[in-house]
Amino acid sequence: MPPPDTMYCSQQIHVPPELADILKQYTKAAIRTQPKDLLLWSAAYFSALSQGEALPVKERLELNVATQKTDSGLTPGLLKVLHKQLSPGRTCSKEELEKRWGGLCLPMEQLEKLLALGNFSSDVDWMQFLALGCSSLGGTIVSAMKFACEILTEDDQGGPARIPFDTFTSLYTFLASLDGEIPQDHVAGFLQGLQEEANKQGGMIQVSNFYFVGNEV
């Protein structure tokens, strides 16, 4: 006969005091992030938590992005999560990017297309990859730059979404070079006009400075 089930009383069961808060924070993170594969995302979440790394967690619950060209799964919120995880270094390895991307349950075929489009080697220039990610969210270079400003800004949500003009110039120039249909003199003239606005704002640029003019680019 199998041995009888061991009976425990509440006094015999030790519950780690930090367990309740860990589970509470995990649950809130899962609700905000809405991962497509909860188990896969949970593994990435607790791995990052145990190593003191940036968590694969959105800052807030997102609505569907109506401007996305395809339902790739990538959203501004997820791209911002990747930025927090991978931006401390100027570059990241493809392996690290694949790990973080997979932890957010994003489709690997989408990642492969972005890597091929940027012609990246074993090391990935993170800001250039971010620009490509923004481009995949919007149908135009202007929409891509709007997403970039909103992801990179340190302003509060709903604020002007300011970023350094040098950062804007680097991302915009990179995307324009990949586009191949924007004349160089047009790019130079557009950036020169924005430089004047940035000089008035301490070297910062914001969405309202370029969005209307940018629709002509």
Of the pLDDT bands very low, low, confident and very high (cuts 50, 70, 90), residue 211 is low
Q: Centre a 10 Å sphere on the Cβ of residue 119 and count the other Cβ atoms it contains.
A: 8
- The arithmetic mean of pLDDT across residues 170-175, rounded, is 94
Of 164, 160, 151, 159, nearest to 203 by C-alpha is 164
Residue with tokens 């074993």: 122
E runs forming strands in the chain: 91-93, 123-125, 163-164, 204-205
pLDDT in tens, 7-31: 666 667 888 889 999 999 999 999 9
pLDDT of residue 208: 78
Report, as an integer, the average pLDDT of 109-114: 95
pTM of the model: 0.85
Kindly indicate the confidence band of residue 183, based on its pLDDT and cuts at 50, 70 and 90. confident
pLDDT greater than 50 at residue 65: no
Count of C-beta atoms within a 10 Å radius of residue 97: 22
